[in-house]
Structure formats: C-alpha cells, structure tokens
Amino acid sequence: MPPWPGTPYPLGATYDGVGTNFALFSEAATRVELCLVDEEGKEERITLPEVDGFVHHGYLLGVGPGQRYGYRVHGPYEPEKGLRCNPNKLLIDPYAKAISGAVDWDESLFGYPFGSPEERNDADSAGHVPLSTVVSPFFDWADDRPPRTPYNETVIYEAHVRGLTMNHPEVPPRLRGTYAGLAHPAVIEHLQKLGVTAIELMPVHQFITDHGLVEKGLANYWGYNTIGFFAPNEAYAALPEQAGQVQEFKGMVRALHEANIEVILDVVYNHTAEGNHLGPTLSMRGIDNQAYYRLVDDEPKYYMDYTGTGNSLNVRNPHTLQLIMDSLRYWVTEMHVDGFRFDLAATLAREFYDVDRLSTFFDLVQQDPTVSRVKLIAEPWDVGPGGYQVGNFPPLWTEWNGKYRDTVRDFWRGEPSTLGEFASRLTGSSDLYQDDGRRPFASINFVTAHDGFTLHDLVSYNEKHNEANGEGGKDGADDNRSWNCGVEGETDDKEVNALRERQRRNFLATLLLSQGVPMLLHGDELGRTQQGNNNAYCQDNDLSWVDWRLLEHNADLVHFVGKLTEFRRNHPVFRRRRFFQGRPIRKGDEVADIAWFTPSGQEMKEQNWDDAFGKSVVVFLNGKGIPDLDQRGMRVEDDSFLMAFNAHYEDIEWTLPDEEYGGEWAVMIDTAKGEIVEEPGEPDVAAGGKLTLPARSLMVLQRVEQSEE
C-alpha cells in the first residue's frame, strides 16, 4: 500500500494504534527515503510523499511498534560549503524514541572532507549502523505522581545505571547493569537508607563508543556521546527486544517515584557523536548539516567546537532549538522524569560567539509550561573562551558549584587563606547567587562527581593515575586539590587510614550541612576507589563499577551518611530557603541569624578572615532567625547550633561564645569519633566554656533550652 500524506507534526515516528506517521525535518533535502528494515536486514525504501515547512512526511498503515527504520536523504553534497546530504548513508531519525544495534566502524562511515560520496562510499546497510525503532506510547503508569521535592529538601545522588548495579549481589545477574536492576528493591532500599531524594543518572540517551576507543579495546562508559535525544540507551535494558528499553525505563521511574525518589537525567545537548569533519555520518550531519551544527564562517565549513568533542549543536537555528525542547518535553511528559542536568550548559548559551546569559534557549525554557516546572541544573562551563560561567545562569536555574568543590577541598587539605571563601560556600554562595534574586539552593554543592577522584581517592592520592586509559597519563585534570594523608595510594598504615576515614567524614558532614543542595557521588559512602584514576570515562569494568563488597568494611560510613541526611532533614536551619542576613530577624531578637567566631570565642574581625594561617572557625546558626515560611504559611523555627571547623594538623582548644548565644550546649556531631546524636542529652559545655576540637575535624553543638520551673 502506498504511503498516505500524513502530517508534518509531531516529528519522528508516531504510532496511533493503526499505523505510524513519519516526519523528518531537512531544509537541505531534495528527497527523503524512509527505509523499513526487516529482521534479516533487508530494506524497503519508500519516498515520503509530502513536504511542509521543510518537514518531509508520510503515514504508513499497519506499521507499528518494533518496526526498525532509517532514512536516506538526497540533496547537495558539498562539504566545503557545509552541505553533506548523501543517500548512501542510512541515517538515524533525530526523533527516534528507540534505537537498536551498534556501529560497525567501517571506513565508509567516516565523513572525509572532500570528494564525491560515490567515490568513497558503498551504500551503508542496516548491519553497519544503528536503526531507529517505532515504539508503543502506551504504558500503565498506575497512580504515578512526581515527588516534586522542594529544592531545599533535596539530596541528590549522582549515579551510573550500569556502574551502580553491575556488582550488586542482590540484583539478579540478568538485571545487573540495567534500568530494571536500578529499580530493584535492594538498590532502592540503599538509596532510602542514605536519605537520597533524587537520583541523577549519568547519560541514558542512546550513545555510541567512538572509533578511537574501539581501537584501544575500551568503551565510552560515561555516555557523553549522544546519538539519540529521545531514545533510552538500549545497552541498559534487560529486555531490549521490540524496543523494550522504553517500557523498562518507565518501569524504573515508576518504582523510584513509589519510593519518593526523583529521577534527574544528565543530558548532552551541546554536541553529538558525529564528531568533527572527519567523524562518522550517522544522523544529523547527513540530514541537514548546516541547520544542526555550528560551522565556521569561512570555507571549508568545518565545525565550531566549544565542547572538546569535535562539534557543537547550532542553538541559533529554530529547528535545532525545537529538537532540544521537544526532547525535554518528551522526557517529562512521556517518561515522567523530574529534571535535567545539562552537560556543558554554557555551550547552549552561545548564540553568536560569546556566552549570552539571555540567549534564546533560556528564553524558551523560561516560558515553557512543562520544562520550566522541573529541576534544571546547569554544568555552568564549557571549553570555549569565556566558558566558565558559575553564578551567571538565569534565575530559574541551579548550577553545579565548582567553586564550592574547590574551596571545600582546599580548606580540608589545609591550604592557607581559605577561611573567607569557605564561609561563603558553607552558607550558600551568596556572592554568586544573591544579586540576581536566586536562593541558596541555586548552588548544587558537591565535593566529588563522576569527573575526577572518588571521595576515597581524594584522600588517598596526590596525583592522578590514568594509565589504564591508554593516553599516557595526559588525560584528566591535573588540579585535583587532593591530599593523600601522607602515603600515595593504598596502605596498611593504621594512622594514615584513620586520618583518611576522618577526612571522608569531614567532607561528607561539610557537604550535607552546607546551605544549598548537596550532591553525593555513587559509592562514596562505600569507600569506592578508582585506584587514582580521575577520568574513568572509558573504563566499563570493575575499576568504575561500585564494589558492593566494600559495604561490610564501610557500614559505619553508610550509617554516618544516613544519619547526616536525617539530621539535615530534621533541622531546617541547615537547609534555609533564603540567605543569611547577618542581623536579627525577629522583632525584639538581639541575636543575628548567623555569627562567626574565632576559636577563642571572639567574633571574627576583618583581619581574621585574611589570616593566611587561619584554619579554624566557629559559626553560630540561629534557629529562631529563619525567615522561611512552611506550606501552611507558618514561620519556620528550629534549634540553634554551633559548628566548629578545625583543618589544622593539631588539636585546638576552643571557647564557646558568651551567654547571649546560648547558655548550655550538647555535642551532636563529632567527625573525629564518627558520632551523630539524634537528640541532645545532658549539656556538655556551658557558655564561655572550653572544648577540645581534635585535629582535622568538625563538631556540631546544639543549644540546650533551659526548662522553666
């Protein structure tokens, strides 16, 4: 049966229960062939009969879920002018909701800069490239509802679908490394034990392993090499047949929502897996190269690269912007995800050359009734000029705060002259976010993330050890701001190991008691190590996978993290919705909402902040001075606390502030001992009294209210 005209919208392959509408945008194409591929890899080519607004479309009765397909795009092939249509290429639909198969790295895939396509390519068959797949939109979501956890109550856990589950002993072997494995009750129970409210998944869009890694026998483990913005990665599905990854992903989201855990996706809209002018032609390059990619002004029309991957998406083009926005809406409405973390988000702000804080992309997000309501997290930098944009994103956005990471690392490794900036990071980074009307939760605080050392390695290595990556140790960051506590790598020295354990507790306690949104890295609570590798992007093996056998040895650390998140949850003074003001908040209150003290009990003066040798500080948090309101419009109140930090290598004796800040105090958290108390008992010290704060430790005291008799 010949194709019906169909409709130009929605783009992609849309099954309606009877047949499927196919629609593909290409301003460059003179003709588009839809290629239906059977189980044996044979093609049936059908020219899409209609074109409206550069969208080629047609409807096929009887074509339904599981049908594999691709496109062959006819049009000009003049690569020096940026035109790369080539019907010898079987192309992936940019709107494909499922993609099956892998890339066979044959030379015919590569986009050499000059020469006619007939001279250098045979027709790429279905056996050489991934294929798009028609999916069923139907799924029983039951009573699924998004948790909609407020930002100030959010605790994020960055994780990798495969890495988190591959070695989990309670996950059945056939489910390890999959969406179903992540949804397993044992994994969800662990997340709940930690107090996690949102899991931030490293890229789950369909991606490929680049040719260079294949030649080395390695893999693109992290997944920042997207080739399908609508398709869940097939490799993470236990049952990928008939596009089962879509149903399996939805089931994972539903299970996590039942546990009141949000799902945030790490998305890569800044570039694709097609690379530079020498890269493979897999999808957008052959459909409409000039529309989808940023090209240089001069000939030959090579790619502008702000990402370090060979290309950058052209966010100046309305059709590319539509692709990104349609993708975001799809993941929210059809897949029920709760937010996005945008990889190298500064690239999306480059309308011309410089980063534009008011670019069209951010305008579109701001006005979109669907996307604007979910969590939006920017990685606020790229590799282009002026790309470091921490603190400069629009008010709707939160940001990975790289300055928090660097400052907290510097403080706890004992770097001089860090007190002033440490105080700013601890209290929500008002210097970065307050001027444009944002709140403390605009800061996504982290000490470790997938890119860099794990927490265990941060306190165990001074230098990166990336030999396994096959790049001669040249890859990965050199500025790690780590400290090995005296010995490089693993050791049997009990004193060194005890110090490392204390340092891990210091980092975790600082992170979870800072204003802003804390983000934990998967496996840090277990003492996960990558043996000093700070760029394990290509290590799809035990080096990167979470070793759950560590749980037995590090059960105390897991318990410590869970108690910290519980402490944070129970005390809103550690997760305020507004910045501290440094003055009394309530009428008649003479005590400010925050105050800083030297270890001698005196209020900090300007010269104290600039002291190069200052490595200790005490901060008072006034629980009665919280300007927030709860859901009922009632003023939020809490107990008052003292937090004492000592990054010095020797114990110090510190004196508590005088009685106006509190008469008696009880120790609640002590990282030197690894103890957290749920409720204050008898007071440990009175106003003006003294306590010993051990070397390299953090102590939290709660004011004990005196009963009236």
- Spatial separation of the C-alpha atoms in residues 556 and 506, rounded to whole Å: 14
The single-letter code of the amino acid at 432 is: L
- Spatial separation of the C-alpha atoms in residues 101 and 234, rounded to whole Å: 8
| β-strands 83-84, 55-61 pairing | unpaired
- Tell me, what DSSP letter sits at residue 635? B
Note the Cα 45 to chain centre separation in Å.
40
Listing DSSP states for 123-137 in one string gives: PPPTTTS-EEE----
* Residue 80 annotated among the catalytic residues of the structure: no
Which residue in 33, 343, 638, 664 is the catalytic one?
A: 343
| β-strands 50-52, 12-15 pairing | unpaired
* Residue 299 annotated among the catalytic residues of the structure: no
- Spatial separation of the C-alpha atoms in residues 36 and 14, rounded to whole Å: 15
- 378 forms beta bridges with 342, 399
Q: Which residues contact 143 (CB under 8 A, 6 or more apart)?
A: none
φ, ψ for residue 494, nearest 5 deg:
-65, -40
469 burial (CB, 10 Å; 0-12 / 13-18 / 19+) is: buried
The single-letter code of the amino acid at 219 is: A
Q: Interior CA angle at 166 toward 533 and 204, to 5°?
A: 80
Contact 611, 605 (CB under 8 A): no
634 burial (CB, 10 Å; 0-12 / 13-18 / 19+) is: exposed
Which residue in 43, 326, 379, 421 is the catalytic one?
A: 379
The single-letter code of the amino acid at 54 is: F
- Tell me, what DSSP letter sits at residue 383? S
The single-letter code of the amino acid at 295 is: L
Contact 665, 470 (CB under 8 A): no
Note the Cα 391 to chain centre separation in Å.
17
Contact 433, 501 (CB under 8 A): no
The three-state (H, E, C) secondary structure of 283-322, written as one string: CHHHHHHHHHECECCCCCCCECCCCCCCCCECCCCHHHHH
- Spatial separation of the C-alpha atoms in residues 146 and 628, rounded to whole Å: 24
Contact 283, 323 (CB under 8 A): no
Q: At what angle do helices 419-426 and 402-412 cross, to 10 degrees?
A: 130
Residues annotated as catalytic are 343, 379
